[in-house]
Amino acid sequence: MKTTTRVLIVDDDEAVRLSFLRSLAGARYNVEAAWNGTEALRAMEQRPFDVILLDIRMPGVDGMSVLKAIKEKWPESEVVIITGYPSLETAKEAIQLGACDYLSKPVGPDEVIHAANGALTRKAWALRRVQTEH
C-alpha cells in the first residue's frame, strides 16, 4: 500500500493503540491515534482519514456516535469497529451505520493489517463505482 493511506486508530486503551500503531506503521500506512471520540472527530476535521479503526466503549463520546458522525460528514472514509465487548446488537447497529467490518478483541497484528487492507479495498471499489456512474 502507498504511504499516503491515512489510518486513524481510536481506542482508550494505550496498549491497544500502540500495538495497532506498530502493526500498521510496519505495513507502510500513515498512522495516527486518538484516545477518545472527541479527539478522533477533531483529527477528522483537520484532515480526513481513509480508514478508521474504532473502539465502541470509550469515555465521553462512544464509538457508535463517532461512527455515525464520520459516515455523515466523511462518507468516503471506511470504519472498522474493533471491540472488546462484541454483541450481535452492536454488530448489526455498526453495519447499519456504515461500518465495513466488525472485529472482536483481542486482534493480532495480521488481523489489524488485513482489516485495514480490506477497508481500503472497499473504499477503492466505492470510488471506482462513483466515477463510472458519472
In a domain, 54, yes or no: yes
Q: What is the pLDDT of residues 52-100, one digit of tens each?
A: 999 999 999 999 999 999 999 999 999 999 999 999 999 999 999 999 9
Q: What is the pLDDT of residues 8-40, one digit of tens each?
A: 999 999 999 999 999 999 888 999 999 999 999
In a domain, 5, yes or no: no
In a domain, 102, yes or no: no
- The domain total for the chain is 1
What is the CATH classification number for the domain harbouring 70?
3.40.50.2300
Q: Is 102 helix (H, G, I), strand (E, B) or coil?
A: strand
> Can you say whether the dihedral through the CA atoms of 23, 24, 28, 30 is positive or negative?
negative
pLDDT of residue 3 exceeding 70: no
Note down the domain range covering 79. Answer: 10-83
Element (H, E) at 79: strand 78-83
In a domain, 118, yes or no: no
Burial annotation 104-114 (CB, 10 A radius, 16+ → b, else e): eeebeeeebbe
In a domain, 56, yes or no: yes
In a domain, 98, yes or no: no
In a domain, 17, yes or no: yes
